[in-house]
Structure 1
Amino acid sequence: MSQRELVVLGSASQTPTRHRNHNGYLLRFDREGVLFDPGEGTQRQMIQAGRSATEITRICVTHFHGDHSLGLAGVLQRLSLDNVPHEIRCYYPESGQVYFDRLRYSTSYHERANVVPVPLAADGPVDSSLTVAALDHRIDCYGYRFAEPDGRRMLPDRLAALGVRGPMVSELQRLGAIEVDGRRVALEDVSVPRPGQVFAFVMDTRMCAGALELARDADLLVAESTFVDADRELAWRYGHLTSREAGRLAAEAGARELVLTHFSQRYPYEEAERFREEAAKEFSGEIHLAVDLAVIPLPSRR
C-alpha cells in the first residue's frame, strides 16, 4: 500500500524552543515527497525523523520570513551533496526572488541537483496536483493545496456479474469500455466515483478567502495556530490565526482532519492542549497538535 503521511519536522513559530524546531513539514504521498517551509534546522530534523533528501520531489515555501525559509540553503546544498538524481521543483512567491537567490547561493558548493525554481505571482493551479492561493500576511505569502485527481473505485461484485476478470479489468480502466461475451461493458457499469485525497497547507495568515479556498474539503488541513483566542488582537496585528480561528477555518471549509502548528514561544509547551480545546469549539473533526518528529497519516479515503 502506498504511504501517505505528514512528517512534522518543526512546529515553532518565530523562535525555536527546547521542544520545538523552526517550521518544516514533509508530505509523503506515494512517489512524491513535498517539503513545506524548511526553517532553520530542517536538514537535521529530517535525519532525526529517518527521512532522506532523496525523498524530496518538491519544495514549497509560503513566504520569506526566516522561520519558514532559513533552512532552504542547507536543504538545497544537501540535495547536491547526496546527488539526488531527479528534478526538484521549488515554489515560492515571485516577490521574494532576491531572497531565494541569496539562500540558494549563500555559500560556495558544487551544485549538482536539478533544482527548478517556480516563482508564484497569481492564484490558481500550478500543475495537475498543486494549486496555490495568496494569503493575508504582512508580506507576500502563498498557501498550497496538493490534490490527487479524482478516480473510480472498482466494484468486485459487478465485475464478477458481468464476467470482467483478470487482465480485462486493467483494459477496461484504460479504454473506458470493452466487449465481454458479446456485451459492451462500460467503466461506469462496474465502478463508482472515488474522490482524490486532498492535503492543504495554510501558514501565516489572517482569515481570508484564499485560506478557505485552499482548505475546501481537505482530507488533512495543516493550519497555523500561533496564538490562543485571548490574544486574537495580537494575532490580527501580526497577520496570524488563533487556534479558534484555525478550527473555524476547518469547519467552514468542510475539512476532515486538522493539524494545528506554528505555536508561539510565549505559551508553555506543557499547555499545548489549550490550542486543541479552543479549536474544538469550532471544529468537530479530529484535531492533531503538531509535535516535532511526529508522523500523521492521511485519513482513509472518503
Structure 2
Amino acid sequence: MELWFMGTNAGMPIAERNVTSIVLRMPQNRGTFWLFDCGEGTQHQLLRTPFKLSKLEKLFVTHLHGDHIFGLPGLLSSRSSLGVTAEMELYGPPGIRDFVENAFRISDSHLGYPLRIYEIGEGEAYRDEDFIVEAAALDHRIECFGYRITERPRTGALRTDWLLEIGVPAGPLFGLLKSGQDVALEDGRIIRSEEAVGSSLHGRVITVLGDTKPCGNAVALAKDADMLVHEATFLADLAEKAGEYGHSTSIQAAETARKAGAKRLLITHFSSRYKQEDLAELESEARSAFPNTEAATELKPYSIPRGNVDDNRQ
C-alpha cells in the first residue's frame, strides 16, 4: 500500500503545488486505488502517475470547501468519457449529493456507470472483508471529517518448503494447515498448524484527516496509526491565525501524532505564503515534537509496509 499526494497546498493552487487530493494505492491483489478529496486539477495530476480512472474504486470527501471538491465533477465525468462502466462509491458529509447532482444537472452531464453516493456521519462509513473505514468529526469552520482506514490482520504464509522437507505432501493437507487445523500423517505424526504457518501480519492503519484545529477526535482517529496525514497550514508563529480559520500549525500536527502514538506523520495543506523551499522549516518544526515527520511531496509514493502482529508498534 502507498500514499500519493496529488496536491499539498491550501486554499488555491500555486505554481509549485496543487490543492488537496490524496491517493491510497490498495494492496496488489485488489488492484485499485481510493481517493481522499478531489481539489481542482486532481485529474490532471493523476495523468502524471500510474493510476488510471478505471481503477478508482472509492472516493472519500472530508468536507465541502472548494479546495477539496472543485475537481470532483470533472473527474467523475472523465471516468465516464473513458468508457468505464464499473461502479464507484462516493462518501462525504451531508451536501455532497446535492453538489454532485446539481453540477451534473446544470451541465447536462451523464455518467455511464453507477455512482453510489453515501452521506456520512460519525462512526463506521464502510467495511468489507479486507478493510474498515471509520469517520469522526473534526474541528473546522464547516462540518469536516477525518477517516481511519483499518486493514484486517492476515494469517502468515504457509512454510511450504519446510513442510515438503519433513514429508508432508502438497495438496489438501496444506489447505487444512493454512486454515488453522492440525493434521495427522499416515506415519502417525501430528503436524501443528502453528508450526506450519509463519507469523501473522497485523492490519495496517492509515489515518487521513481533513482540515482541523487540534481536537480529541483527531487523536482518536490516529491512535497507533502506521501513517497519519495531518494538515499543517501554518508555522507555530501563526497559531492564533490557524485557530481563527480552523487549521493547525506544524507543531500542533506533530503533537497530535505524538499523543496518538502514531508511527509516522506526513504533513500537508500548506498555506500559499510558504514557497517550496519554506517547507523544510515546517518539517523541522514538526520534527521537534515528533521526529518521524515528513512534509509531503506531490507525486511521490509513500510506502506503508506491513509488519508482524508481535512487532513493537511504539
Structure 1 unaligned regions, length at least 5: none
Deviation by residue 1:76-108 (Cα, 9 ceiling, x = unmatched):
101211222322111001244422333454522
**Residues 215 and 163 of structure 1, relative CA distance in 2, 3 Å threshold:** farther
**Structure 2 equivalent of residue 296 of structure 1:** 302
Normalising by structure 2, we get a TM-score of 0.87
Contact map agreement 2:20 2:67 (CA 8 A) in 1? yes
Q: Tell me how far 1:126 sits from its aligned partner.
A: 2.4
Q: Distance in 1 between matches of 2:215 and 2:60?
A: 20
- Which stretch of structure 1 is more off in the superposition, 77-86 or 56-65? 77-86
Q: Tell me how far 1:191 sits from its aligned partner.
A: 4.0
Question: What does 1:123-142 correspond to in 2, within 5 Å?
Answer: 123-128=123-128, 129=131, 130-142=133-145
Contact map agreement 1:155 1:192 (CA 8 A) in 2? no
Q: Tell me how far 1:26 sits from its aligned partner.
A: 0.9
Normalising by structure 1, we get a TM-score of 0.90
**Residues 191 and 282 of structure 1, relative CA distance in 2, 3 Å threshold:** same
Deviation by residue 1:3-42 (Cα, 9 ceiling, x = unmatched):
x211211111102100001111111112231011110011
Contact map agreement 2:121 2:136 (CA 8 A) in 1? no
Q: Distance in 2 between matches of 1:257 and 1:214?
A: 14
Q: Distance in 2 between matches of 1:281 and 1:163?
A: 56
Q: Distance in 1 between matches of 2:90 and 2:166?
A: 47
Query: Which of 13, 18, 29 is residue 15 of structure 2 equivalent to?
Result: 18
Structure 1 letter corresponding to 2:134: T
Cα RMSD between the aligned structures?
2.3
Q: Tell me how far 1:59 sits from its aligned partner.
A: 0.3
Contact map agreement 1:171 1:178 (CA 8 A) in 2? yes
Q: Tell me how far 1:300 sits from its aligned partner.
A: 4.4
Q: How many residues matched? A: 297
Contact map agreement 1:144 1:202 (CA 8 A) in 2? yes
Q: Distance in 2 between matches of 1:247 and 1:163?
A: 53
Query: Which of 122, 145, 149 is residue 146 of structure 1 equivalent to?
Result: 149
**Structure 2 equivalent of residue 172 of structure 1:** 177
Give the number of the structure whose alpha-carbon radius of gyration is greater: 2
**Structure 1 equivalent of residue 233 of structure 2:** 226
**Structure 1 equivalent of residue 282 of structure 2:** 275
4+ runs of 1 displaced by more than 4 Å? 161-165, 182-186
Q: Tell me how far 1:50 sits from its aligned partner.
A: 3.7
Q: Distance in 2 between matches of 1:132 and 1:166?
A: 44
Q: Which structure has greater strand proportion?
A: 1
In the alignment, does 2:200 pair up with 1:203? no
Structure 2 letter corresponding to 1:172: L
Q: Distance in 2 between matches of 1:170 and 1:85?
A: 36
Contact map agreement 1:19 1:292 (CA 8 A) in 2? no
**Residues 106 and 7 of structure 1, relative CA distance in 2, 3 Å threshold:** farther
